[in-house]
Structure 1
Amino acid sequence: MSTVAVTRLIEAHAIDVWRLLTDLPGRAGRNLAGPVELLTPGVFGPGTVWREPRSQPDGSILVEEFCVVEAVPPRLLVLISSGAGVDYRITWTMRAARRRRKGCTSVTVTQEAVPTAPYGRVVALLLGGLAARAVEHALRRDLADLAVAAERPAGAVEAA
């Protein structure tokens, strides 16, 4: 199993960060290659499943499917996603952080990868460091996109 964790301070209240993180239709404007496809009806929470297309560093598009396994607003969101020979667990934690300004949240996103097939273990051994750096880069990008959206002044419109 490999684990990568990244933390960033976001100048916004945890509830505002949570709203952005769980606004699936709104995610399309943040680092995705297209709209999110919601696969389950109802209120966001455990059991919610969706697919989202993501741009990869090489320019290709990868469609990932996520399922919520735990949601404790506005502090904890745990997702699972299956890949080729590997299962992923992505945990988002939000906690109030002390800063000069009120409304700062420390956001940590952790991705754990568990090989589920022999070739998943081989790939993990051969590409472990490289894969970890790629995951870290992706997580930092996700946090940066979330921060930009959360820290945008109220009423500001995103350029198309």
Structure 2
Amino acid sequence: MNTAALKKASSVSLSRADCEDFLINEARLLDEARFDEWLALFTPEAHYWVPSEPNQKSPLDTVSLMYDDRRLLETRVRRLSSPKIYSQEPRSRTSRIVTNVTIESAVNGVTKVRSKFVMVEYRREEQRLFAGTYLHDLVLIDDAIRIAFKKVDLVNADAPMDGLVVPF
């Protein structure tokens, strides 16, 4: 997170329960296809990363399944909101479970949160199962929790993937 956002972020540490409630709400927004509301959870400087390899250390060293800054997230949401998005005809239906929420650290107003997730995507009479670990950097800005960084480590990140459109 850049210095301007850090200055705006509160130095108050978030509780595990607050973080868990936030992550459950994030999952609900995605499951209900409320993508504009989901996008609003991110800070202007946020990054969203889905590595393509287990234990990938940096999004800059190799290709990622997704690596979006805020501008690319806005483009992704605009595409998902379009009635003419062929890759979502018919629209995916998803269900996410978020669990095992732990706080890894809380330094300078940034709370690093680890959790496990399972996401089921159903589309065109096929069901896909995704599972893995979420890593969130959460900040409190104007009394609201925001995502400064989100990493999605898929269990099968290095397996062949059919078009990934819906965010995790």
**Structure with more helix by fraction:** 1
Scaled by the length of structure 2, the TM-score of the pair is 0.36
Scaled by the length of structure 1, the TM-score of the pair is 0.37
**Structure with more strand by fraction:** 2
